[in-house]
Amino acid sequence: MARSVMVTGATSGVGLATALRLAGAGYEVFATARSAEKAEKLDALASERGVALRTVLLDVADPGSCQEAVDRIARQTDGGPWGLVNNAGIPLAGAVEDVDDEAARRLLEVNVLGPARLARLVLPAMRRRGEGRIVNISSLGGRVTAPGMGWYCGGKAALGSLNHALRMEAAPSGVRVVLIHGAGYASAIWERAADDLADLAASGRSPHAEIYRGIEEALRATAQLPGPEPIVRAVHRALTAEHPKACYVVGAKTRLGGAADLLGPYRLTDHLKRVALGIGEPARNRLVEYAARRWCTPW
């Protein structure tokens, strides 16, 4: 019997590519979508690619929707999915003081509480079987924080901490919990984040309007980056490896950028981030500017 995997946020980006890859590899994929319209488009795309998957409606911020989705999958499997890929997420751009409570709560519901809630719902069946995989998709933003992206980066950092605790808690039951950190690929979330910053800058209400322009430009430049295939391969490895790594750090930027942010003095890393985003004093030479733009942003 094929192993079943639930993939959230499967209508675009990493989630879509992951769902299609796993379906092509023989997994029984339950791919989630927020609306019936998106689910229909996902079904049609899967048919075009010659793979079979099942779509499930899900809003990860809604506890009732999460319960209903997991219950539906449980009825079609051995009590629940063998694997869960927590990919669904939203961007949130803006200085800490410019983001209101409602927007911050929405981000935390989707990017932090949603993945934890789904893990809580699927774990009992995994524990009964004595095996299972939970893969949480984070980003370099969970390790590197940039001005104007504090809430997003904070949410990813929180997801990482929860992942590490859950990994240790679930290990005795045979369930493996894996974190994926990645950066350096094109994603629609950065375009949406850039739109948020443009709106904030145009509103005339923010004291940070000037710095938003540099951050917006850097975010829009991500459209020229390659696709998410390296992340998708890491997810596949996390699901298939007999002994998966606790954390897959994907790409040179993720490895070096995360290390630099952890080890470098804040005076230096803060300066490099400002250079990368065109904020304040420019770099004194092109090499510093290149290094900053290449390694010191969380996307």
DSSP string, 146-175: -TT-HHHHHHHHHHHHHHHHHHHHHGGGTE
| 178 belongs to a structural domain | yes
| 21 belongs to a structural domain | yes
Q: Are 108 and 32 in contact (CB under 8 A)?
A: no
User: Considering Cα of 277, then 283, then 287, then 292, what sign does the dihedral take?
Assistant: negative
| 126 belongs to a structural domain | yes
Q: Is the pLDDT of residue 38 over 70?
A: yes
Please tell me the predicted confidence (pLDDT) of residue 286: 76
| 214 belongs to a structural domain | yes
Please tell me the predicted confidence (pLDDT) of residue 283: 64
pTM of the model: 0.94
Please tell me the predicted confidence (pLDDT) of residue 282: 67
Which residues are part of the catalytic machinery?
A: 152
Percentage of the chain modeled with pLDDT above 90: 78
Q: Is the pLDDT of residue 155 over 90?
A: yes
Strand pairing partners for 250?
182
| 154 belongs to a structural domain | yes
| 176 belongs to a structural domain | yes
Instruction: List all residues 6 or more positions away from 212 whose beta carbon is below 8 Å from its beta carbon.
Output: 148, 197, 198, 200, 201, 206
Number of domains in the chain: 1
Please tell me the predicted confidence (pLDDT) of residue 31: 99
Q: Are 17 and 232 in contact (CB under 8 A)?
A: yes
CATH number of the domain within which 143 lies: 3.40.50.720
Q: State the average pLDDT for the chain.
A: 94
Please tell me the predicted confidence (pLDDT) of residue 184: 87
